[in-house]
Amino acid sequence: MNKNKKYWESWEIVSIGTFAALIRISSFLISVTGGGMNPISMILKNIVATSFLVILLCRVRKYGVFSLFVIINSIMTIMMMGRGVMNAPMAFLAGLAGDRIIVMLGGYEKTKAVITGVAFYETVSRIASMGIGYLFMRENINLFYFALVAVAIGYFGCIIGIFTGLYFSKELKHAGIIRS
């Protein structure tokens, strides 16, 4: 596998799309079976989604994976749920910044770089979504506080998901599914 190729190989594109769909489907199933917006299902949904994201970044080790994943994920969110149009530009910029952070910290081969890039993306995208939420809900600030608590609970799940994703990535490397 030549890591110096400038173009995307088909298995990389398929992996990104598969993981984006897997994240969307698993999040939906956890939300439906968990009873909606309760703290346990919100944490579990974010743990699974972030774990899959970390596994994707460990599987496809190429600059731009993060950005392409965010584009596909944003399009899927807009098409499936009819929302996310306002969050998509900031999520894309956070994905680009996450890609750059990973490269600046040593590339996709470094575990700390991947952790930092994912943590940065999750933090910035959630802060941006809360900023947009504040613009829409500033007349009824109590709704904004509810959304703030919900996002904080989900963010806690994302932090756990980073570490579970790293654990599963190590196990998948050991099994030969992820090649380093």
CATH number for the domain spanning 93: value is 1.10.1760
93: left (phi over 0), alpha (psi -120 to 50) or beta: alpha
In the chain, what is the straight-line distance between the N-terminal and C-terminal CA atoms, in Å? 10
- Determine, yes or no, domain membership for 4: no
Give the model confidence (pLDDT) of 105-161 as tens digits. Answer: 998 889 899 999 999 999 999 999 899 889 888 888 888 999 899 999 999 999 999
Which run of H or E residues covers position 136? helix 111-137
Structural domain including 46 reads: 11-175
- Our count of domains for the chain comes to 1
- Determine, yes or no, domain membership for 53: yes
Provide the 10 A C-beta neighbour count for residue 10. Answer: 7
- Determine, yes or no, domain membership for 62: yes
Give the model confidence (pLDDT) of 94-105 as tens digits. Answer: 999 999 999 999
The crossing angle, in degrees rounded to 10, of helices 88-104 and 111-137 is 160
- Determine, yes or no, domain membership for 5: no
- Determine, yes or no, domain membership for 6: no
- Determine, yes or no, domain membership for 89: yes
Confidence band of 2 (pLDDT split at 50, 70, 90): low
Burial (CB < 10 A; 0-12, 13-18, 19+), residue 60, is buried
Tell me what percent of the residues of the chain surpass a pLDDT of 90: 56
The two tokens of residue 41 are: 């299902």
- Determine, yes or no, domain membership for 58: yes
Q: Which amino acid is at 86?
A: M
Burial (CB < 10 A; 0-12, 13-18, 19+), residue 4, is exposed
- Determine, yes or no, domain membership for 141: yes
